Amino acid sequence: MFTREEQTWLLKLARESIAHFLETGKKLKLKESEIEASGESVKIKRACFVTLKKDLVELRGCMGSLEARRPLYLDILENAYAAAFEDSRFFPVTKEELPDVNIEISVLTDPKVLEFDSPEDLFNKLRVGVDGVVVERGEKNATFLPQVWDEMLEKSNFLTALCMKAGLEPEEWKKPGLTVYTYQVEVFSED
């Protein structure tokens, strides 16, 4: 769990990452003194997603990492930049709209393989609103954060949409051999 001060610092960092690029055309780099003052927990290797919403509801970008490969503050810097400027579903965020963009950070636990032996068993093991889910078959994979359950409470709709996001057949989740991972998140936002 992050303290309120750490959450505030990380959210400010995400916003500065976007604003800095809009002003300079360059990615933000932090000084060592800025990192030292932020607290130890932001330096631990953690994976995160940064979600941008316009007017608190309209998705404006979302990018992230499933594996902890770098310190959290670096993951947030990179993912905030990517959500604003590299999410292929949207045009890049502009300086004019940035004040209307709300930033949400989801810090992930390490994904764990979910063992199941049938679609019914998978249904029974998935926890609506708690589990983030990754589906994977071969080179194709996709994830939905736990927050996506709010949009699709039906497990079948959730899994169908997730399979389609991965480029798989809609009902791939009913077939043997699909690998499913689950993870949980700590979520905090500017709203």
Task: List domains and CATH numbers for the chain.
Answer: 4-108 (3.30.700.20), 112-184 (3.30.1490.150)
Question: What pLDDT was estimated at residue 159?
Answer: 97
Per DSSP, the residues of 31-57 read: -HHHHHTT-GGGGSB-EEEEEEEETTT
Condensed to tens digits (0 to 9), the pLDDT of residues 16-51 reads 999 999 999 999 988 877 776 677 888 899 999 999
Average pLDDT over residues 131-146: 96
- Walk across the sheet containing 47-54 and list its strands: 58-64, 47-54, 101-108, 185-189
* Residues ≥6 apart with Cβ < 8 Å to 5: 39
Q: What is the mean pLDDT of the chain?
A: 93
Question: What pLDDT was estimated at residue 37?
Answer: 65
Q: CA angle 157-158-163, nearest 5°?
A: 95
Condensed to tens digits (0 to 9), the pLDDT of residues 63-114 reads 999 999 999 999 999 999 999 999 999 999 999 999 999 999 999 999 999 9
Average pLDDT over residues 115-141: 95
Residue 153 has pLDDT above 80, yes or no: no
142-166 in b/e burial notation, b at 16+ Cβ within 10 A?
Answer: bbbbbbbbeebeebeebbbbbbeeb
Question: What pLDDT was estimated at residue 19?
Answer: 97
